[in-house]
Amino acid sequence: MTIISSPLDYRNAAKARLPRFLFDYADGGAGSEATLRANVEDLARLGLRQRVLRDVAAIDLSADLLGVRRPLPLALGPIGIAGMYRRRGEIQAARAAAAAGIPFTLSTVGLCSLAEVRAATPDALWFQLYVIRDRAFMADLIATAKAQGAEALIFTVDMPVPGSRYRDAHSGMAGPRAPLRRAVQTLTRPRWAWDVGVRGRPHALGNLLPVLGASSGMNDYMGWLGANFDPSIRWDDIGWLRAAWDGPLVIKGILDPDDARAAADAGADAIVVSNHGGRQLDGASSTARALPAIAAAVKDRVTIFADSGVRSGLDVVRMLALGADGVLLGRAWLYALAVGGQAGVTRLLTMIESEMRVAMALTGVRSIAEIDASILLKERQD
C-alpha cells in the first residue's frame, strides 16, 4: 500500500503508476540536469530562523495576486500534456484549484482546450501562451482566451528553442521507435492504460486543433514544439502582445534583473522568475539564487511569481522570503494528479497549506505580508 503523508510522497507514487515515458518527461530536465537538481537543493539549503513566544494563534495565508485576494499565495502553473497523466487531467486539476480558491493555468499544449476547461469550472482560469511563429494563430489563441474569460495571460519567453532533454530519448518520449516503445510501456501500466489510454480520449492537443486537426497526438506534440517556437522574438514584440491582450500580462521565464526591468518597461503586470523547471538551459541559475536580485530590481513595479524546485509548503515560504509575491506549483501538482486525480491535487494543496502554517508559526510570522528575508538564517544563504 502506498502511503502519502507529505507532498514528496507523490513523486514515488507517480513513478509506480505512470509509463516510463510520461514519468521521465515530467521528472527530467535539460542536459545533465544540474539546474534541475540545483532548483531543489538551493531551496533546501535556505535555513529558517525559528522564533518563539510571538503570538501565532491566528495565521492568515491570503494574498493579493493580480488584483484578486486569494486564500493562498499560489496558482497551479502551466504544464503541457497534463491530460496524459490522468483522464482529462487539466479539468481535474482546474476543479481542485477552484475548490482551493486559487487559479489554474492552462498550457497552450494541454490536452483539454480552453473551452473544455471553462465548461468544467467557472473559477479563476489563467492561460499560458508560447512564442509561436504564426502570429495570426497567436492572435486567435488570445481572442479565444478572452472569449473564455481567462483572467490573466502568462507569456512564456524562455523557450525560443526546446532545451536538450536527453532523458526523453532513453524513455521513449522521443528517439528511435518511440511510438512502439511507448505502446510496450503502456502494457505494464494497466490502470493508467484504462484511465487515460482508453477513457481519456481524445489525446489531441485541444488548443491546437485548428492547426493540427482532431487526429493529432503525441508525435505531433513533440514535432510541433520544435517547429513552431519563434527564436526571433524580441522585447519590441511585447508591444504587439500588450495591445492584443488588455488583461493582466505575466512574462514567464525571467532569471536576470535586466530582463526583469525590460519586462516591466514593456508593460508586464507581473513576471515569473523561472528556469522552466531546469528543462531549458542546463547550468542556468536556480530560481532561488536568481530571485533576490530580481526582487530588489523590480519589486515596486511588478508582481513577482516564482517557480522551479518548489515541492512543499516549506519551499513556498522560502520563495516568499526570497522576494516572491506568489508561487506557481508545477511538478508537485502533476505528480499528485497522476496518483489521485482531482482528489490528489486537493490533498496536495491541503498539505502545502498545513506546512505553510507550521513554517509561519515557527518562524513567528502571522501573515504572508510579514514573510521576508528576516526569517532566513544568514549563514545558510551562501
What would the pLDDT profile of 110-132 be if each residue is shown by its tens digit?
999 999 999 999 989 999 999 88
Q: Encode pLDDT of 145-194 as tens digits.
A: 999 999 999 999 999 888 999 999 999 998 899 999 999 999 999 999 99
Q: Annotated catalytic sites, by residue?
A: 276
Whole-angstrom distance, CA of residue 49 vs CA of residue 169: 44
CATH 1.10.3720.10 fits 9-41+64-354, yes or no: no
CA dihedral 351, 356, 359, 363 (to 10 degrees): -170
Nearest to 316 by CA among 346, 348, 352: 352
Please tell me whether residue 362 adopts helix, strand or coil conformation: helix
Residue 227 clears pLDDT 90, i.e. is over it? no
Residue 242 clears pLDDT 70, i.e. is over it? yes
Tell me how far CA of residue 149 lies from CA of 12, 67, 165, in angstroms.
36, 16, 34
Q: How confident is the model at residue 211 (pLDDT cuts 50, 70, 90)?
A: confident
Mean of the per-residue pLDDT values of the chain: 94
Residue 1 clears pLDDT 90, i.e. is over it? no
A 10 A CB-CB count for 240 gives: 12
* CB 127, CB 154: distance < 8 Å: yes
Q: How many helices (H) and strands (E) does the chain have?
A: 16, 10
Quote the percentage of the chain above a pLDDT of 70.
95
Weakest mean pLDDT among 12-26, 217-231, 355-369:
217-231
* CB 34, CB 283: distance < 8 Å: yes
Nearest to 303 by CA among 256, 267, 250: 250
Please tell me whether residue 12 adopts helix, strand or coil conformation: helix
Whole-angstrom distance, CA of residue 114 vs CA of residue 108: 9
Residue 200 clears pLDDT 70, i.e. is over it? yes
Whole-angstrom distance, CA of residue 372 vs CA of residue 370: 6
* CB 142, CB 113: distance < 8 Å: no
Residue 215 clears pLDDT 70, i.e. is over it? no
Residue with cell 538564517: 377
Name the residue ranges covered by the structural domains of the chain.
Answer: 9-41+64-354
Residue 294 clears pLDDT 60, i.e. is over it? yes
pLDDT at 379: 65
Give me the count of residues in the chain. 382
